Amino acid sequence: MSSQLIGRFFKRFKNLEEESFNCLLDLCDDPDVAIRKQAVQDLQSICKHEPAFTSRVADVLVQMLVTDDHSESHIVTLALSGLLLADPKSTLTGIFNQMLADNSGSPRDHVLKFLAESLKRLPKETLDDQLEEFILEQTNKVLLDVSEDEFILLITVLSSLKCMSTVPGRQKLVNMITTQVVQAVPSFDPQDASCLAQVRESGRQAVRFLSKNVTAGAFLRYTLQKVIPFFEPIGSELDRRGILRVLTEFSMHPGDAFLSCSEAERAQILCPLHSLLLSSLPTVPEDPLLALSSAVETDSGSGKSQSTKNLIPDEVSNLNLLEIECLLFSIVNLAKLLPSFLDFTDLSSGDSASNSEAISRVRCVRPKLQYLARLLQLYRRNILSATEELLKLEEIAQESAAHEAKQALSNVEVLVRLFFRNRPNLDISAMMPSWKKMPVTVKPGEKRPPIPLADQSMDTVKTGRTERTFYRMPVGRWSGGRSGARGGFRGRRFSDNSLPGRGRMY
């Protein structure tokens, strides 16, 4: 009753507004759920008469979002939605003030979910350019200190804005993500789980907005300089694969931030990536032909008594085809931008202008790639099954894992062959990484099949028009003529005696 009276007579006592507002706040902490619900409704009602209290009421309602009572949570959500529709600027000010407050128990995930759903329902005339600019400004402040889940929700909120649907908007969003990860992880620690999650999830969110005109050059440079040199100590298989996949996507959209570097600086940036590729490839034995031939003979001569696992070399058991695919994709894409990094010409040709360091990089990787290609031929089935087991860690379906493993093996075989050509074409834009789905092309002009009536079977449905067969004139001996003559009777012209000639005799 007291809450209803305060809400009803709030506008009539200007000198008691602060005291009345504080009384309503005390009622919001009442142990009775019914009293708290009534206080929420009265807080919303006083904002209609006194808009100056909107931001403070929104701040209070945000704190009340976390509750075990679903009916109370529903009332609070409706009140916040009403305030957001009536006065969006003041409501968002109160919401972001609560999110930026130094409070470890602040329910950020609930607020972000509310924003992600409510901003989509706002009318276009309400969510104007000035309000979107305000949301961007406040979100940048929140991005400085967020968890992994909160970061994903914040990017979802930003991507729902109209200004982020354009090419400059998406590029701005990628730049914001890059700035956030650079400030949050200035020095990469491969043993820190939060550091790994920050880089991995930031990269995944940035990849969502990449296109032909939206690039991630700054993020690519950060990954090559800060992450790749310290990549090997990472123990989690999912973290390693996630970061390398992000790197591959970035290498397909390098942008001006990477191309603006000098050739010497770009070569220095790519050297750790080349070293990581060498360490990921299988070690070549002293006599690879002898080792492989002995393994094949042992495999063919062994019966069912021996286990198949004992016949597989250690190089095959430790082979991570998914990482090799990412590294080959990345280094080929980036070497296309810096042709002097890898020189595929032969020194025996006498080309003195060739870069000896670039040639040595190719010479170091070729034996390992050749040995890898031989292993893929001999132990194809074992490598595919091992790759499928790695993919199952991502909790994907069996059929998808099998298809992705085959696609990864096919990509590796194609990329390996590039390194054994004198002047290879490093443009692999037509190739698709194994984890990306091929775009489905819809054939134009296809019609849907007719839908039969309830009492009509599929056999009685009217089918399309069949092709008509036209009559063809007989040719050859059955055409009625000889030597190509036309017609069955043809008389001769009159002779000099003016007598008609006889017709053709049959």
Tell me the DSSP string of 126-166.
TS-HHHHHHHHHHHHHHTTS--HHHHHHHHHHHHTSGGGSS
Whether residue 285 is found in the same domain as residue 427: yes
Whether residue 246 is found in the same domain as residue 290: no
Number of domains in the chain: 2
Coil vs helix vs strand at 230 = helix
Among 437, 470, 500, which residue terminates a domain? 437
Whether residue 287 is found in the same domain as residue 433: yes
Report percent pLDDT > 70 for the chain.
Answer: 76
pLDDT at 36: 80
pLDDT at 171: 93
pLDDT at 292: 61
Which of 45-49, 251-255, 306-310, 341-345 shows the lowest mean pLDDT across its residues?
Answer: 306-310
Whether residue 334 is found in the same domain as residue 217: no
Whether residue 229 is found in the same domain as residue 342: no
- Greater pLDDT, 45 or 379: 379
Q: Is 79 within 8 Å of 54 (Cβ atoms)?
A: no
In the block, residue with structure tokens 């969510």: 127
184 lies in a domain? yes
Report percent pLDDT > 90 for the chain.
Answer: 26
pLDDT at 33: 83
Whether residue 172 is found in the same domain as residue 230: yes
Of 303, 288, 302, 285, nearest in space to 377 by CA: 288
Among 437, 464, 486, which residue terminates a domain? 437
In the block, residue with structure tokens 């402040």: 141
How far is C-alpha 41 from the chain's CA centre?
43
378 lies in a domain? yes
Which of 152-161, 304-313, 366-375 shows the lowest mean pLDDT across its residues?
Answer: 304-313
Per-residue pLDDT, averaged over 42-64, amounts to: 82
pLDDT at 353: 46
Among 402, 437, 472, which residue terminates a domain? 437
Q: Tell me: the pLDDT tens digits for 405-445?
A: 999 999 999 999 999 887 778 888 888 999 987 665 555 55
Q: Tell me: the pLDDT tens digits for 130-141?
A: 898 999 888 888
- Greater pLDDT, 415 or 37: 415
Task: Please give the torsion angle defined by the CA atoms of residues 243, 245, 249 and 255, in that order, rounded to the nearest 10 degrees.
Answer: 30
In the chain, the amino acid numbered 387 is T
How far is C-alpha 480 from the chain's CA centre?
73
Q: Measure the CA–CA gap between 389 and 398, rounded to whole angstroms.
A: 10
For residue 457, how many other CB atoms are within 10 A of its CB? Answer: 8
Q: Measure the CA–CA gap between 88 and 84, rounded to whole angstroms.
A: 4
193 lies in a domain? yes
pLDDT, the chain, mean? 79
Q: Is 190 within 8 Å of 234 (Cβ atoms)?
A: yes
Q: Measure the CA–CA gap between 425 and 419, rounded to whole angstroms.
A: 10
150 lies in a domain? no
Whether residue 372 is found in the same domain as residue 333: yes
Q: Measure the CA–CA gap between 400 and 384, rounded to whole angstroms.
A: 13
pLDDT at 296 over 60: no
Q: Measure the CA–CA gap between 502 and 490, rounded to whole angstroms.
A: 9
Range of the domain at 419: 280-296+312-347+354-437
User: In which band, very low, low, confident or very high, does the pLDDT at 225 lie, cut at 50, 70 and 90?
Assistant: very high
Of 471, 473, 493, nearest in space to 481 by CA: 473
